[in-house]
Structure 1
């Protein structure tokens, strides 16, 4: 079996030679985005790329998502890498040749880059069949519907983690420069829950509010009370974010409507804090309902656990990528993100690690994730593909030595 440095150099060389192709794939995907639940053309494009490599793959039962296997001889278990493939409903405001061609659809979270880097990684790995020890194969998951937080669970139900003992992923980070890789043990993202509150009252003429039970007045009271009560309901030293993103009610300025709807998110790195937040929100809406004489309901649309990086795997990934970016390129992530990531569902089933890949450019404004002007510094793409291959190889050798 090749020495580790020799193997890394060989894989790095293959990826570097393929850098233009990785960029081309990313640009094609950026120009042709599909939203969560509709990624059939994207899946077909990835399938064509994988088929050209002569690799075994299977497509999800509804034509979305792809699982690629490279078992190798006597394969008993796998190390997996994961890329998400869906886009956001957002208008692309950039002026570039690869700007989205779809109205109000855009890869604003880097999933096009994740997919391109994963394809580059497995292309290199497929050309070095002895990269992993005998008995250990690699598997690549091209996952749909990350933005709607349903895709990882779908992949698991399709047996994507069958015999998988470890899984790795990258997420682009525009706050880090290209050539930097961020790492963190333990909590990397927050527990994220989306909730909905329905307020039902009695509508009427805006000139005679005394004849109504105003759901908009109740809804605004709920928002104000939640924002004032929640910060004093948990330890102030621990992060808890509750935000309302949707308030809907009525269509005429002189008509008090029958109902109003609120939607928002709860984010915390502590599941107990999330439980307390939900309890307090219910208490608030019950109290407002009584005062304003309206009916209310509270429901959770979806819930994501936090991404918690396995300490051993994080150490292995750090070791694998250190000489790729050097001391100056390794950035410790001192605080978890309050964003959500459905990669967390995989970590309920096996050990895993998600690294952050810098895609920002020095002296240029940071265009954050989910921005209509979001873009990536494409010099980071081969670095990300190399980080994925190195991590898979390092973890596989660890599994062999641990037997």
Structure 2
């Protein structure tokens, strides 16, 4: 990033950094779950409007977009808008931290860092708007504040609203409590996994535990499904795809001496490979029926698609790394592993090139934390780091705006085809 821009960014954060931290704390104290982010949407819109931007609330009433126009002397071809995306929603859990900005809303908590993501994109947008007013922004930028990421439907609604029109690349960060503040983790290719939901319901006539041979033993059949299904996957699917099934809920019966007429098991299916993910519903249907069929029960499978794998486009990942290194130094950027967690940013990357990076939020020398914990918090210096990284990445992408490749097709998403021995 050019020296003049870096100095301007330093001055911006010196003046506005404390206000951004206060904004994040306000969001943290007033969390709103998916589709209910009305206050969050309003306070973001007020900040953007005060900066001279024209925010547009999405059709569902939560989430918003704001465009920052390029300098008048810029000349860019179509599809060169650079988008920066943040997610707004909190999780449905109580906040257990003893801090002044603890959640004031029972049953809602920013335990995944979306308040940080939102503040980072807001801060980057406010700085880029200043650059635009000074005639220094080399290309257009779109700010996307998305609702309902945790519900995995918000990104699809944003896309349906036309938010990717003319967008050439899109970038986002996600908090990483296992990475020190001041660091950014990035990788080319898949960075998160596909994540689906599965429910198996087993039926029988019910009966007495003294005479299981006269009925259909639903509990035994369900136990076989629960234990056999994960084992069968290891012999039916390429292990490099990391297709896994983990059960989270099993329920059957209410009396020790009665065989119930119904049992239910629910869990999540996660996968790193697109080809295996596409084939998973049919495979699970086949395997569930083959296991349960031996026990004279009827079985129903509900396989619910959630999100595909998030696959960083190589050129965009390189731009992220280049931009981050320009503000953090070469030691500030490091490779990161692929996670089995799900992230609906994947839907954007099915439409346009882009990349998701991991923003370090752990105090240096601190203990590893995890997301989705009621005690989750961040080292707030990560906000300034995130603003620097997003500004530098947006400018890097704009400077390369004339060389935007075609969006990646679905087969590229996590495919293992042609993977060499020893690849990780």
TM-score w.r.t. length of structure 1: 0.92
Aligned counterpart in structure 1 of residue 155 of structure 2, from 152, 157, 161:
152
Q: Which residue of 2 aligns with 1:132?
A: 137
Cα distance in 1, alignment partners of residues 32 and 324 from structure 2: 32
Indicate if the aligned counterparts of 1:81 and 1:168 stay in contact, CA closer than 8 A: yes
Alpha-carbon separation, structure 1, partners of 2:129 and 2:361? 26
Are residue 62 (structure 1) and residue 42 (structure 2) matched? Answer: no
In structure 2, C-alpha distance between the alignment counterparts of 1:237 and 1:59, rounded to whole Å: 42
1:228-307 aligned within 5 A:
228-251=231-254, 255-275=258-278, 277-307=280-310
Q: Which runs of 5+ in 2 are unaligned?
A: 406-424
Deviating runs (4+, > 6 A) in structure 1?
none
Tell me the matched-pair count.
Answer: 398
Contact 1:149–1:341 (CA under 8 A) maintained in structure 2:
yes
Give CA-to-partner distance per residue, 1:226-281, whole Å, 9 cap, x none.
12222232333442321112223345556543322222222121122234544443
Select which of 357, 371, 385 maps to 1:355. Answer: 357
**Equivalent residues of 2:84, 2:142 under 8 A apart:** yes
Question: What is the CA deviation profile of residues 361-403 of structure 1, one whole-angstrom value per residue up to 9, with x for unaligned ones?
Answer: 2333222011121111111110001111111111011114779
In the alignment, structure 1 residue 24 sits paired with structure 2 residue 22: yes
Aligned counterparts of 1:377 and 1:365: Cα–Cα separation in 2: 12
SS in 2 for 1:399: coil
Distance 2:14 2:320 in 1: 20
Shift in CA distance, 224/402, structure 1 to aligned 2, threshold 3 Å: closer
Aligned partner of 1:342 in structure 2 is 344
2:120–2:386 contact (8 Å) kept in structure 1: yes
Unaligned runs of 5+ in 1: none
- Residue in 2 that maps onto 1:119: 122
- Greater displacement, 232-241 / 95-104: 232-241
Give the whole-Å Cα distance in 1 for the aligned partners of 2:198 and 2:403: 46
CA distance in 2, matches of 1:284, 1:238: 18
Instruction: Give CA deviations for 1:188-211 in whole Å, capped at 9, x if unaligned.
Output: 111222222222222345666555
CA contact (8 A) 2:224 2:292 kept: no
TM-superposition CA deviations, 1:166-198 (whole Å, max 9, x none): 111111111100011111011111122222222
Contact 1:304 1:340 in 2 (8 A): yes
State how far apart, in whole Å, the 1-side matches of 2:195 and 2:48 are.
33
Q: Aligned runs of 1:4-403 on 2, under 5 Å?
A: 4-72=2-70, 73=72, 77-129=80-132, 130-133=135-138, 136-204=139-207, 209=212, 212-251=215-254, 255-275=258-278, 277-333=280-336, 335-400=337-402
